Amino acid sequence: MGAHARESAVHASGLGRRFGRYWALAHVDLEVPYGTSVWLRGSNGAGKTTLLRLVASLSTPSCGELAVGGHDVYRQRAAIRRSVSLVSHALYLYAGLTARETLAMWAQLGGTAAAARDVERRLDEVGLAAAADRRVGEFSAGMRKRLALARALLEAPRILLLDEPFSSLDRAGCELVEAWVRRFAETGGTVLMASHDHERSRALCERVIDLEDGQIVGRETLRATGDPS
C-alpha cells in the first residue's frame, strides 16, 4: 500500500466482495484524493452500495486491498469509523426518540463536546428545529432523511459516504442536501456518493465512476478537484 494509501482518502486495488456464488464487486481499483467528490454511477445491483459499505468498513472484502484515510480495512476498522460517516438506505434512526434526542445521543457516542453543542444548530440547518421534540416515528421520509444527514455531519467526518441521498426527498430537501454536500466538499471534505439523480450529482461531483455488474467500467473527470461548477 505504502505512500499512495496515506495520501488518499480512499485507496483500493483489486478489491472484490463475493456473496455466495455471486461477485457483487470485483477488480476495483480506486484512488480518491482528499477533498474530491466522487459520483458512483450505475444501475441497481451494479455494486454501488457494496462499495460504500466496504469503504465504511461495515463489510469485509473477499479479496484485494482497501485503505480508508490511510487505515487498513482489515485491521483498523475503529480508526476508519472515526473518520467516515455513512448515510445509507437504512437511516439508523430509532422511531421512539425525538429528533433532538437522536442527535444528542449520537453526539454523546461520538464523544466530542463540540458535537453536543452543535445539536441545536444542526437541527436548525436541516429545518427540523420546529419538529425537534417530535418522535422520529411520526416523521415523513424526507424529514427522516434530513435528520440522518444532520446526524452524519454531527460526527464531523473527513469522508462522507452517501447512498442515494436524494431519494425520498422533495425539491426543497434535495436542494438542501445539495447545498450541504457542496459546503462539506468546499471545506475540504471527501464525498463518495451513489445516486440516480444525474443532474444534481453531475453538478456536485468532480469525478464519476461507472459501475456495471460489480466492476468499474468507466471513469470520467468532470472538472479539476476544487473547481467550482
Partner 1 sequence: MRVVWSILAKDLLLEWRERARTLSVVLFAVVTLLLFSFALGPDVEALRAGTPGFLVLALLLSSTLALNESFRIEREDRALEGLLMRPVGSMAMFYAKALANALLLTLLAPVVVGLAVVLYSLEVGPPALAGLVGCWALGAAGLAAPGTLYAAMTSRLKTQDVALPILLFPLVVPVLLGSVKAMDLVLFGDAMNQLQSWVSLLLAFDVIYWAVCGVLFRYAVEEGE
Partner 2 sequence: MNVRRSLAIAGLLLLVVGTYMGLFVAPPERHMGEVQRIMYVHVPSAWNAMLLYTFAFGFAIASLWSGKPEWDDRLVGAVEVAVVLNALLLVQGSIWGRATWGVWWDWDVRLTTSLVMLLLFAGVLTLRRMASAERRAQWSAVATIVAFVDVPLVYYCVRWWRSLHQIQSSPETVDPAMVIPLRLNAIGILLLGVAWLMARAAIEKARRRRDEAPLPSRVIVKETAHA
Return residues touching partner 2 (CB under 8 A).
Answer: 16, 18-23, 26-27, 60, 63, 210, 212-224, 227
Question: 111 is in the binding site of which of partner 2, partner 1, none (Cβ under 5 to 8 A by kind)?
Answer: partner 1
Q: What residues from 164 to 203 belong to the interface with partner 1 (CB under 8 A)? A: none
Helices (H), the chain: 2-7, 48-55, 77-83, 99-110, 113-125, 141-154, 171-186, 198-204
3-state SS, residue 75: coil
How far apart are alpha carbons 58 and 171 in whole angstroms?
31
Q: 163 to each of 150, 175, 194, how far by Cα in Å?
A: 15, 16, 5
13 versus 76: smaller Cβ distance to partner 1: 76
Q: Is 105 in the site for partner 1 (CB under 8 A)?
A: yes
Question: 84 is in the binding site of which of partner 1, partner 2, none (Cβ under 5 to 8 A by kind)?
Answer: partner 1
79 versus 208: smaller Cβ distance to partner 1: 79
Among 35, 45, 70, 110, binds partner 1 (CB under 8 A): 110
Question: 20 is in the binding site of which of partner 1, partner 2, none (Cβ under 5 to 8 A by kind)?
Answer: partner 2
188 versus 218: smaller Cβ distance to partner 2: 218
Question: 105 is in the binding site of which of partner 2, partner 1, none (Cβ under 5 to 8 A by kind)?
Answer: partner 1
Q: List the one residue out of 221, 172, 177, 176 whose CA is nearest residue 195.
A: 177
Q: Is 65 in the site for partner 1 (CB under 8 A)?
A: no
Q: 214 to each of 50, 64, 86, 87, 97, how far by Cα in Å?
A: 9, 14, 20, 21, 37
Q: Using alpha carbons only, how large is the chain's radius of gyration in Å?
A: 17
Helix axes 141-154, 171-186, angle to 10 degrees: 10
Q: In what order do the strands lie in the sheet with 63-68?
A: 22-33, 8-19, 63-68, 71-72
Q: Is 81 in the site for partner 1 (CB under 8 A)?
A: yes
User: Taking contact as CB under 8 A, which single stretch among the options 8-16, 41-49, 65-73, 103-111 is the one that binds partner 1?
Assistant: 103-111
Q: List the one residue out of 88, 102, 78, 89 whose CA is nearest residue 154.
A: 102
43 versus 108: smaller Cβ distance to partner 1: 108
Please report, as ranges, the residues that interact with partner 1 according to CB under 8 A.
Answer: 56, 58-62, 77-78, 81-82, 84-86, 88, 90-97, 101, 105-106, 108-111, 135, 155
